[in-house]
Structure 1
Amino acid sequence: MSKLELPLNSSRSDRRLLIRPWVVVHLGSILLFSLGSSIITPYFAIYVAKTLGYGLAFAGVLVSVKVVAQRATSLLGGMLTDMWGARPLALAGVVLRLSAFALLLKTPTHTTLLASALLNGVGAAIYHPALRKLLFEQFRNFPSALARVVGLRNVSLNLGAAVGPLLGALLVESHFTLACEVIVAVYAINVGLLMFFRRSEVPLGLGSQSFRWRDLRSGAFLNTLWLQFGLFAAYSHFEFLMPFYFEQRFGSTFVAGAFLVNTVVVVSIQLTCSKRIAETPAWVGYASFVGFFLCCAISSLGDGAFWQTSPAASMMLIGFSMTLFTVGEVLLGNRIDLMTTRIVSSRSTGTAFGAVAMVGALAVVLSNGMNTYLLELKGFLIVWLVNAIVGLIFLVYSLRRARFDD
């Protein structure tokens, strides 16, 4: 077995571990954290640009401030988690998110919108490394339970992201203040959950929680960062070119269908196949992404008239391609969480998760820049083919790495 494979023990105690109150609370916290922001996020730019009349450029600035703040401070958030403890930092992240939306309860101004975006991003940067450490570290010595809890964490995150926009569609445009009040209430409940379960952070028995940089210098962790870069180079399409392309080639209805397929496949796989996912090598995930890009390349051939007049064929192609995309997302995302938890010393996992997030952000920035350039220069067919080649490079690397480790 490869040194990087994650052996799974099938212990009957796993299920008892997973239904402990603190596990349920932490999973509920993740769902609420995702739900709160997703109520408003899909509609925020349109609301700022059109309803408030601040223009699309300023809306873009707000999105950039949030994303940059989250990614740029994720390493700091992880370091603080290792130094001060995971539960206080997770709580601080929720409080910052609550404050971000509380600022919007009155008519938003340029200043309050900028401050809200900054708090929003920093809150996420602090919360996610802390909650990962808080939840995953308890299962470090129970590999099969760890695989399941990683899957359940992602299910909670995706359920929140799926339900939130449904509420937002009813509230944001006509009742923006009410939407913000609902979001503040969601985060207040989250604060209450984390405060009430004060003993949920099990002592690690290491004498000191302070991280050590040397814990992040192993070849195995550097390999994990490389896998993360490849994952987010592909995943960057999810919120950028993929919706735009599907709307242009197939129609707006199929964009919603693509996201629905993603949510259904994520939840289904995570709930039923968590152990099998953990045992699946990384190259399978990259092969799935390559398949997705090739499907998109095939649909780029011609003028698109066939797809516009063949809804059944469009549905089949989108369903198949999005299933491939989602399988790659789940396989690699889960594997990276598992490897980070098990490879890095407990005293440094917060910092490690922060570093993983930063590498993902770098991959998104570089990938979006490359794809924008290719799109303007050559069009979508070249974009998809180049990304298929990039995915193939990571696939070959993963295969060679697996042989090297055997």
Structure 2
Amino acid sequence: MPFRDYPLETRTLLGAQLVFNIGFYAVVPFLAGAMAADYGLDAAAIGLVLGTRTFSQQGMFLLGGMLADRWGARRAILTGCLVRIAGYATLAMASGFPLFLLGAVLTGAGGALFSPALESRLSHSDQPSGSGDPGRERGRRRSVFVWLAITGEIGAVLGPVLGSALLGWGFDAALTAGIGVFAVVTVLLWWLLPAERAPRPQDQGGEVPAAAPSAARVRWACLRDRRFVVFCALAATNMLVYNQLYFAVPVELGRRGLDGAWLGALFLLASVLTLALQLPASTVGQRLGPGRALTLGFVLEACAFTIAALTSVHPGSATGSMAPLTAAVAVMIMGHMLLTPTILSLIPRFVPAQGAPRGRGAYYGLAATCGGIAVLAGNAVLGRLLDLTDRHHWWPGTPWMPVIVLALLASAALPVVLRGQSPLRPADSSSTTAPSSRAR
């Protein structure tokens, strides 16, 4: 579906994601440098602050999703914006380690509240309207998560540009701009985003369901659904692979004796490919269907690391070429573009049909938390393998073999997990997601 054809609420949420990312990337990429240069923190303290920020966001996604189900997505989104403002304000006041640590926790917690709530609310725009054949209607509609990927990437590109421009006035200027960005987002969302209708005990026919689950039971249902937990564990490979832009790619540049400045060019390549090809990639994914799109996406990610492994060299042995690494990043991004919207659009299939209308935040939160755990554990294993490979002179591509195996495993297993999962029925969406009058 073209962007302009989505309802105002959906376009508002996508715009919020754009601005939220601008505010994030205008500050966080420069946090380590500011702590070292302006405040004299040592490497251990900086690493702890950055690690705590990541953990407080990724680790709290499930909790943030559950709060979105309890409070409603609108309240969770607005609270997430306010918590991130508090985090940036704390960083602006910080002059030593304790306040930097607190500000990092608040910054991460704000994202943990914001993202699952926004994704769960956007997921309702992915459903058919209730008229006609659902399968045919979905076939004509581009997933809203394609636009979420595009708007998020635009923010990830513009944010560092804004942050770099503001650093001339000091890190506090970037923090002040970030606070201003999030304040604007909060006001606009409070004004434009309608509140959810309170859940009713009756269905559309006026009959009370015989065994309607409690709200608390629905919130924990994602953890009791073994099929969904397996889906999240396999899908988390996508986040592990994508995060190698921050770990494996810089390591490979160093091993090949290439200048670190090339890293910026590879990040730019990833952004350009996403902005230019996300829509065509989504069209390919629609034509393939979810199962085959997942298979192709993970096979592409496995191919990317196969290229990296086959062309890898031991540190200091030779000056490598940028061409294989550039090809690996391009292939990886192609796989990521197929996978991310597909995975996000499939999550509502696992939500119980008789669940509460606010039952999706926990599902999106669990998926994100599994991704964070995969990145934490995966990077630890890869780092250990890198040390062992260099110490014992194993084949230089050895550290990347686990990523290849995991991607191939996900490509084969996820279509099997999806068998028997019925697409969302139109009635499910119309009976649970209609908004009330706009709340001021």
After TM superposition, the score normalised by the length of structure 2 is 0.80
- What is the CA–CA distance in structure 1 between the aligned matches of 2:311 and 2:158, rounded to whole Å? 30
- The 8 Å contact of residues 39 and 96 in structure 2, kept in 1 or not, is answered as no
- What is the CA–CA distance in structure 2 between the aligned matches of 1:337 and 1:17, rounded to whole Å? 21
Which region of structure 1 is more displaced relative to structure 2, 204-213 or 345-354? 204-213
* Equivalent position SS for 2:106: helix
Structure with greater proportional helix content? 1
Match of 1:382 in 2: 398
Structure-to-structure mapping, 1:40-79, within 5 angstroms: 40-79=27-66
Match of 1:284 in 2: 296
The CA deviation string for residues 248-280 of structure 1, in whole angstroms up to 9 with x for no partner, is 423223211111111111222323342432434
The CA deviation string for residues 187-217 of structure 1, in whole angstroms up to 9 with x for no partner, is 0110011111142657777768663433554
- What is the CA–CA distance in structure 2 between the aligned matches of 1:23 and 1:229, rounded to whole Å? 26
- What is the CA–CA distance in structure 1 between the aligned matches of 2:201 and 2:44, rounded to whole Å? 49
Q: Does 1:172 align with 2:183?
A: no
Which region of structure 1 is more displaced relative to structure 2, 108-117 or 390-399? 390-399
* Equivalent position SS for 1:186: helix
The CA deviation string for residues 92-141 of structure 1, in whole angstroms up to 9 with x for no partner, is 00111111112233453322211110101111111000011122223323
Q: How far off its partner does 1:47 sit?
A: 1.5
- What is the CA–CA distance in structure 2 between the aligned matches of 1:202 and 1:17, rounded to whole Å? 25
Match of 2:10 among 19, 23, 39: 23
Match of 2:83 in 1: 96
Backbone CA RMSD of aligned residues: 2.7
Which region of structure 1 is more displaced relative to structure 2, 79-88 or 243-252? 243-252
Q: How far off its partner does 1:184 sit?
A: 0.7
Q: 1:95 to 1:144 in 2, by over 3 A?
A: farther
Match of 2:412 in 1: 396
Match of 2:247 in 1: 240
- The 8 Å contact of residues 247 and 255 in structure 1, kept in 2 or not, is answered as no
Which region of structure 1 is more displaced relative to structure 2, 66-75 or 270-279? 270-279
- What is the CA–CA distance in structure 2 between the aligned matches of 1:274 and 1:202, rounded to whole Å? 32
Which region of structure 1 is more displaced relative to structure 2, 92-101 or 325-334? 325-334
- One-letter amino acid of the structure 2 residue matched with residue 369 of structure 1: A
Larger Rg: 2
Which region of structure 1 is more displaced relative to structure 2, 245-254 or 71-80? 245-254
- The 8 Å contact of residues 10 and 125 in structure 2, kept in 1 or not, is answered as no
Structure-to-structure mapping, 1:219-230, within 5 angstroms: 220-230=227-237
- What is the CA–CA distance in structure 1 between the aligned matches of 2:201 and 2:152, rounded to whole Å? 30
- The 8 Å contact of residues 287 and 395 in structure 1, kept in 2 or not, is answered as yes
- What is the CA–CA distance in structure 2 between the aligned matches of 1:262 and 1:103, rounded to whole Å? 32
Match of 2:376 in 1: 365
The CA deviation string for residues 369-402 of structure 1, in whole angstroms up to 9 with x for no partner, is 1101100001442112343233233333346657
Q: 1:301 to 1:114 in 2, by over 3 A?
A: closer
Which region of structure 1 is more displaced relative to structure 2, 240-249 or 317-326? 240-249
Q: Does 1:182 align with 2:177?
A: yes
Which region of structure 1 is more displaced relative to structure 2, 200-209 or 391-400? 200-209
Q: How far off its partner does 1:71 sit?
A: 2.1
- The 8 Å contact of residues 48 and 59 in structure 1, kept in 2 or not, is answered as yes
- What is the CA–CA distance in structure 2 between the aligned matches of 1:148 and 1:396, rounded to whole Å? 23
Q: Percent identity?
A: 25
Q: How far off its partner does 1:347 sit?
A: 3.5
Match of 1:7 in 2: none
Match of 2:118 in 1: 131
Structure-to-structure mapping, 1:193-212, within 5 angstroms: 193-199=188-194, 201=196, 211-212=218-219
- What is the CA–CA distance in structure 1 between the aligned matches of 2:381 and 2:70, rounded to whole Å? 37
- The 8 Å contact of residues 206 and 347 in structure 1, kept in 2 or not, is answered as no
Q: 1:405 to 1:95 in 2, by over 3 A?
A: closer
- The 8 Å contact of residues 270 and 330 in structure 2, kept in 1 or not, is answered as yes
- Which consecutive unaligned segments of at least 5 residues does structure 1 have? 1-13, 309-313
- The 8 Å contact of residues 222 and 229 in structure 2, kept in 1 or not, is answered as no
- What is the CA–CA distance in structure 2 between the aligned matches of 1:123 and 1:166, rounded to whole Å? 23
- What is the CA–CA distance in structure 2 between the aligned matches of 1:216 and 1:146, rounded to whole Å? 30
Q: How far off its partner does 1:307 sit?
A: 2.9
- The 8 Å contact of residues 57 and 111 in structure 2, kept in 1 or not, is answered as yes
Q: 1:108 to 1:147 in 2, by over 3 A?
A: farther
> How many residues align structurally?
387
Match of 1:153 in 2: 148
Q: 1:59 to 1:215 in 2, by over 3 A?
A: closer
- Which consecutive unaligned segments of at least 5 residues does structure 2 have? 130-137, 203-213, 391-395, 423-440
Q: 1:124 to 1:272 in 2, by over 3 A?
A: same
- The 8 Å contact of residues 146 and 338 in structure 1, kept in 2 or not, is answered as no
- The 8 Å contact of residues 35 and 164 in structure 1, kept in 2 or not, is answered as yes
- The 8 Å contact of residues 286 and 395 in structure 1, kept in 2 or not, is answered as yes
- What is the CA–CA distance in structure 1 between the aligned matches of 2:191 and 2:259, rounded to whole Å? 48
Which region of structure 1 is more displaced relative to structure 2, 169-178 or 27-36? 169-178
Match of 1:265 in 2: 273
After TM superposition, the score normalised by the length of structure 1 is 0.86
Q: Does 1:307 align with 2:315?
A: no
